[in-house]
């Protein structure tokens, strides 16, 4: 090997590796570039050592590689110290990115649910297919309301929380396949619409809304957000733009993992409302007011706090991490 020629051919790459390794802050693209250059540099250092042994240029490259390696394998800062940033910047920014898609999912869901409700309510044969008159009367007069008090409040809260959190996680995790999220949206809309039709058919329409509203305002919104996240993952795969498909999926996937974590907390709140508020014999304005306040707080967090964080450059990407006293930011 002509060491001088080899060094001259790769000098610019090594200088760039050193520059990235010394940077205090990296974008997602720069972080990916750092890893790629580290891998290439490690191969080149191996070639130098195998042919020329210990050399000045090899030692310099080794130092650059060591600095680069510390950027993505160094000891992380205290995780607890990063929690405020997660809740005040990363999570709301990730939610903010989904605001319009969430609205679109909500509109589609309610439109489909309304169509199912009107169809089933006006067609006795459709209602008959859902059950006998005695079975439907049982649902409308007893089972629908009894569902919310059939179990102790704490265990019921845990049940609905884990079920809804699992659905939300599935929407995000399986969104890439394209058909899963539309299937979930259609299934939820159909169930909502047919249940409403049964309740209205037996003059229990007011009961339907009064028992759905306290927890449903926040719960359904959280599911809409999860569905929006799944659709965004699918779109990143279909139309990655200037990014490669792998890069688009990695970047958006990390951001939406942030959303999945956040929605677990949101659905815990809606589960608590469903378990401890919906079935209580309190005035309906109080119960629905609690749900409305919870929804209002979430929307303010998503739009106001999230908008501020997003405009400040936050993306919600959990690929952002600290290594020692420096940070790597993946966009």
Tell me the average pLDDT of the chain.
86
Share of the chain above pLDDT 70, in %: 92
Every domain of the chain and the residues it spans: 3-73, 80-312
Residue 217 contacts residue 291 (beta carbons within 8 Å): yes
Nearest to residue 71, comparing CAs of 108, 25, 121? Answer: 25
pLDDT in tens, 231-267: 998 988 888 877 788 877 877 787 788 899 999 999 9
Structure confidence at residue 46 (pLDDT): 83
How many residues belong to the chain?
A: 331
pLDDT in tens, 152-163: 999 999 999 999
Cα–Cα dist 113/120, whole Å = 11
Phi, psi (degrees; rounded to nearest 5) at 323: -125, 105
Average pLDDT over residues 152-175: 93
Q: Is the pLDDT of residue 330 over 60?
A: no
Average pLDDT over residues 103-123: 96
Structure confidence at residue 327 (pLDDT): 38
Structure confidence at residue 329 (pLDDT): 36
Beta-carbon count within 10 A of 177 CB: 13
Nearest to residue 211, comparing CAs of 230, 235, 195? Answer: 195
Structure confidence at residue 92 (pLDDT): 94
Structure confidence at residue 321 (pLDDT): 38
Structure confidence at residue 27 (pLDDT): 75
126-158 exposure pattern, b = at least 16 Cβ within 10 A, e = fewer: ebeeeeeeeebbebbeeebbeebeeeebeebbb
Q: Is the pLDDT of residue 75 over 60?
A: no
Q: Is the pLDDT of residue 325 over 50?
A: no
Residue 84 bridge partners (DSSP): none
pLDDT in tens, 192-239: 999 999 999 999 999 999 999 999 999 999 999 999 999 998 988 888
Helix (H) or strand (E) holding 25: strand 25-26
Structure confidence at residue 131 (pLDDT): 92
């Amino acid at each position: 090997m002509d060491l001088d020629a080899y060094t001259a051919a790769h000098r610019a790459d090594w200088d760039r590796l050193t520059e990235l390794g010394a940077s205090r802050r990296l974008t997602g693209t720069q972080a990916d570039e750092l890893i790629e250059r580290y891998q290439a540099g490690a191969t080149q250092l191996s070639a130098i050592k195998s042919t020329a042994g210990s050399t000045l240029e090899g030692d310099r490259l080794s130092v650059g590689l060591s600095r680069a390696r510390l950027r993505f394998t160094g000891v992380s800062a205290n995780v607890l110290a990063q929690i405020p940033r997660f809740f005040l910047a990363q999570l709301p920014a990730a939610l903010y990115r989904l605001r319009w898609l969430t609205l679109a999912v909500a509109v589609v869901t309610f439109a489909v649910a309304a169509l199912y409700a009107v169809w089933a309510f006006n067609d006795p044969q459709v209602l008959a297919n859902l059950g006998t008159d005695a079975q439907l009367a049982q649902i409308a007069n007893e089972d629908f309301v009894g569902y919310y008090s059939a179990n102790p409040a704490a265990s019921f809260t845990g049940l609905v929380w884990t079920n809804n959190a699992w659905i939300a996680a599935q929407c995000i995790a399986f969104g890439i396949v394209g058909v899963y999220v539309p299937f979930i949206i259609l299934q939820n809309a159909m169930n909502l619409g047919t249940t409403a039709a049964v309740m209205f058919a037996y003059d229990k329409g007011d009961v339907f809304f009064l028992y759905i509203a306290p927890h449903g305002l926040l719960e359904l919104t959280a599911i809409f957000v999860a569905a929006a996240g799944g659709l965004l993952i699918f779109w990143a795969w279909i139309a990655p733009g200037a990014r490669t498909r792998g890069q688009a999926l990695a970047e958006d996937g990390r951001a939406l993992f942030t959303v999945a974590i956040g929605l677990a907390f949101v659905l815990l709140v809606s589960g608590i409302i469903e378990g401890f508020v919906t079935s209580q014999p309190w005035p309906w304005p109080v119960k629905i007011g609690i749900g409305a306040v919870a929804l209002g707080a979430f929307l303010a967090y998503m739009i106001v706090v999230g908008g501020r964080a997003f405009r400040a450059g936050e993306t919600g990407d959990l690929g952002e991490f600290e290594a020692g006293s420096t940070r790597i930011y993946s966009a």
